[in-house]
Amino acid sequence: MNHTERSLNHTDPDERWLGAIVHGAFFLLLGSSFARFLSRDQGGARTGWVVALFVFFCLLYVLGHLLAPPPRPGLSPTRRHLLWLGSATAVWVVLLALAPSATWCVMPLLFAGLHALPPRIAVPAAALLTALVVVSEIRVADGPLNPNMVVAPPAVAAVATAVLVHLQRQGARQRVLIEDLMRTRSELAATERRAGVLAERQRLSAEIHDTLAQGLSSQRMLLQAAERTWGTDEEAARGHVRAAAEITSHSLAEARRFVHDLAPADLAERSLTEALGDLARRESGPGLTVEFRLDGEPGPLPERVAAALLRIAQGALANVREHAAATRAALTLTWLDDQVSLDVADNGRGLAHPPSPSSPRGHGLPAMRIRASQAGGALTVESTPGEGTVVSVAVPLVIKEPAL
């Protein structure tokens, strides 16, 4: 049982209500037993002892619940509580021998004390106390024996003991179920945290692939071109270096935006159309010309959709530059009444076996598929060996939240 469950048990209003009733019944029966003793059984030298035992029994009951309270459900009773229970029972037995009027004081004691004991101890103890009650009733009987004196106490004790045992077992089953539920909730929370961490790692890897890695790749190609032409065409080499520096500046802005909120820097103050046009101009360079085309009237887009389309365009152009051996590529943004689509086409070598969603190749295409899915759309790849590749993504303008 954990700390939370103990706290719940400690503040359970039903438990406090039941305890108040049991304590009230004990003092009521103790008072009525004492009144009966004073009205019918007092007299002789033992009267003072009996009165003292009544007072001591009452004080012992009160002090026991203050200093040796019963254990919480599911926990074993403490030695102090067992000592109190044994002492209270012994005092009651002596009091019963001296004053049979104290017979029924045992019933609240049965509820208040024996419910904390395991059934293998509580049932024999209840049987012994019941037998003492029956003997006491027979002892003080006047005239013919009333069968109820013999039958009623065992019947009441049997019902009370059966109820206590049933409640104990039911409580034990409930505690097991609560512990299982708490453990299951903890495991589910841990699983969700792990899934969230994996999803975040996947998202971060896609962001890095589409921004920093792409910029570094472009810089490398430009610097290599500058190195090749430096001795023959210094002005062209300087142009390559300036282009590499421009890409470095852009990559630095992306890195800062990446650290700040992971939103594309190109969309900070520009629309998606402007960002794609700038991307096409930036990616055009030695050996590769990228053209941007707009079809339809652009409208507002949710920020995450615009970011996904821009990142997909960046990833697709990175694949074109690094793997396609293409000389021309085209970015086409198409606005329709019910969807917006982006096509990235090149005239490169193409793919012998275009990747499928179930068996993607590399890192770029899986990242693009994930971005398209998170934006509520779908990505397709069409390619023919020697005839180029077309990467297309279509996102409905009525966006549905992706299933997690």
The domains of the chain are located at: 3-184, 211-262, 272-404
pLDDT digits (tens, 9 = 90+) for 221-276: 888 888 888 888 888 888 888 888 887 877 777 776 665 545 566 676 778 999 89
pLDDT value at position 359?
45
Residues 6+ apart with CB under 8 A from 85: 64, 77, 113, 114, 116, 117
What is the 3-state secondary structure of the chain? CCHHHHHHHHCCHHHHHHHHHHHHHHHHHHHHHHHHHHHHHCCCCCHHHHHHHHHHHHHHHHHHHHHCCCCCCCCCCCHHHHHHHHHHHHHHHHHHHHCHHHHHHHHHHHHHHHCCCCHHHHHHHHHHHHHHHHHHHHHCCCCCCCHHHHHHHHHHHHHHHHHHHHHHHHHHHHHHHHHHHHHHHHHHHHHHHHHHHHHHHHHHHHHHHHCHHHHHHHHHHHHHHHHHHCCCCHHHHHHHHHHHHHHHHHHHHHHHHHHHCCCCHHHCCCCHHHHHHHHHHHHCECCEEEEEEEECCCCCCCHHHHHHHHHHHHHHHHHHHHHHCCCEEEEEEEECCCEEEEEEEECCCCCCCCCECCECCCCHHHHHHHHHHHCCCEEEEEEECCCEEEEEEEEECCCCCCCC
Calpha distance 364→223 (Å, rounded): 24
Calpha distance 164→114 (Å, rounded): 9
Residues 6+ apart with CB under 8 A from 25: 107, 108, 111
Calpha distance 294→155 (Å, rounded): 91
pLDDT value at position 292?
94
pLDDT value at position 402?
46
Select from 3.10.105.10, 3.40.50.970, 3.40.50.300, 3.30.565.10 the CATH code of 272-404.
3.30.565.10
Calpha distance 153→142 (Å, rounded): 18
* Amino acid identity for residue 342 in this structure: L
pLDDT value at position 4?
40
Global pTM value: 0.41
pLDDT value at position 354?
54
pLDDT value at position 395?
93
Residue ranges of the chain with pLDDT lower than 70?
1-12, 14-15, 41-45, 73-74, 107-116, 140-143, 145, 196-197, 200, 203, 207, 209-211, 256-266, 268, 352-363, 398-404
pLDDT value at position 58?
87
pLDDT value at position 1?
42
Calpha distance 316→351 (Å, rounded): 14
Long-range contacts of the stretch 241-248 (C-beta < 8 A, 24+): 243/285, 244/218, 244/219, 246/282, 247/215, 247/218, 247/219, 247/222, 247/282, 248/215, 248/219
